[in-house]
């Protein structure tokens, strides 16, 4: 095939994909103001995405915070700056690692399960059944999950930030010989409200991306077990890449403020 034609097809396919995804996201957002609303589905999604994700978020954050403290101490020791461990752990967790790691864990845990669930519903005609029962799948399945993820992710990120800082605190005081009161004081004094705002904003955006990708690939799943597997895999990869890309864009935007 002509390489130019090949390139052209790839570009058209990519643009068509972006168009489909944009329409999907736009429809989801517009459904926020178009009843009916399925509150029960929303609360179930809050429980599954928020509450049940707490253990994995906590574990990820505490180990990351602890490791971060050790790395900063080791790095800082090269130029006699070991004392900055509390401050760097705090800012590293709140501005970067907390939102990104929680976002990636949610992509792994929630995006995959949402994509697999909805793709299975697609394959087994449950989505068609919803339509015949006068229920819009976008309102019944997509909106509750996307809204729940967008609202609970800042809370999860907040928890992740606190637990991560606590991980650094434990390592700092138990292993590195920091005074507990001084460690807490340095952490609190160093953090600014804007750090926390940027962290939680990232969380909301990452939550939206994670749930949207799960729903999008689930709704557009191919047939059979292979279709479900493909939808699940692609949704997680897409969510992870988009979260990292969005993180860069948001960080750059916050940096400019």
Q: Which residues in this chain contact other proteins in the complex, by CB under 8 A?
A: 36, 38, 121, 124-126, 128-129, 131-135
Angstrom distance (rounded) from CA 233 to CA 214:
10
Nearer to other proteins, 109 or 139 (CB): 139
Residue of 205, 153, 158, 177 lying closest to 70 (CA atoms): 177
Cβ–Cβ under 8 Å, residues 90 and 187: yes
State in angstroms the smallest separation of the CB of 118 from other proteins.
11
Cβ–Cβ under 8 Å, residues 215 and 28: yes
Nearer to other proteins, 80 or 132 (CB): 132
Angstrom distance (rounded) from CA 102 to CA 154:
10
Q: Is the peptide bond before 36 cis (omega within 30 degrees of 0)?
A: yes
Nearer to other proteins, 198 or 220 (CB): 220
Nearer to other proteins, 135 or 230 (CB): 135
Cα dihedral sign, 117-115-60-25? negative
Nearer to other proteins, 128 or 192 (CB): 128
State in angstroms the smallest separation of the CB of 45 from other proteins.
12
Encoding tokens for residue 47? 């429980």
For residue 237, count CB atoms less than 10 angstroms from its CB and return exposed for 0-12, middle for 13-18, buried for 19 or more. middle
Nearer to other proteins, 95 or 109 (CB): 109
State in angstroms the smallest separation of the CB of 18 from other proteins.
22
Which residue has 């799948």 as its token pair?
137
Angstrom distance (rounded) from CA 57 to CA 77:
30
State in angstroms the smallest separation of the CB of 133 from other proteins.
5
Give, in order, the Cα–Cα distances in Å from 20 to each of 23, 120, 221, 222: 5, 21, 14, 16
The rounded Cα 66 to chain-centroid distance in angstroms is: 22
Look up residue 235 and give its DSSP letter: H
Nearer to other proteins, 125 or 174 (CB): 125
State in angstroms the smallest separation of the CB of 23 from other proteins.
16
State in angstroms the smallest separation of the CB of 132 from other proteins.
4
State in angstroms the smallest separation of the CB of 115 from other proteins.
15
Which residue has 């029962």 as its token pair?
133
């Amino acid at each position: 095939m002509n390489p130019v034609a090949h390139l052209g097809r790839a570009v058209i396919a990519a643009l068509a994909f972006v168009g489909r995804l944009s329409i999907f996201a736009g429809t989801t957002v517009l459904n926020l103001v178009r009843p009916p609303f399925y509150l029960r589905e929303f609360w179930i999604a809050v429980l599954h995405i928020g509450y049940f994700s707490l253990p994995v978020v906590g574990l990820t954050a505490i180990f990351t915070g602890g490791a971060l403290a050790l790395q900063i101490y080791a790095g800082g020791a090269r130029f006699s700056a070991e004392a900055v461990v509390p401050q760097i752990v705090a800012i590293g967790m709140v501005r970067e690692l907390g939102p990104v790691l929680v976002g990636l864990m949610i992509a792994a845990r929630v995006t995959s399960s949402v994509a697999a669930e909805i793709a299975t519903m697609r394959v087994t005609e449950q989505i068609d059944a919803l339509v015949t029962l006068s229920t819009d799948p976008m309102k019944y399945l997509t909106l509750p999950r996307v809204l729940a993820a967008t609202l609970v992710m800042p809370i999860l990120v907040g928890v992740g930030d606190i637990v991560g800082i606590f991980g650094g605190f434990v390592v700092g005081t138990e292993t590195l010989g920091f005074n507990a009161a001084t460690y807490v004081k340095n952490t609190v004094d160093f953090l600014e409200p804007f750090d926390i705002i940027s962290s939680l904003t990232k969380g909301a955006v990452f939550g939206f991306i994670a749930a949207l990708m799960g729903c999008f690939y689930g709704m557009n799943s191919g047939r059979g077990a292979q279709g479900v597997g493909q939808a699940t895999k692609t949704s997680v990869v897409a969510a992870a890449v988009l979260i990292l890309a969005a993180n860069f864009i948001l960080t750059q935007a916050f940096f400019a403020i």
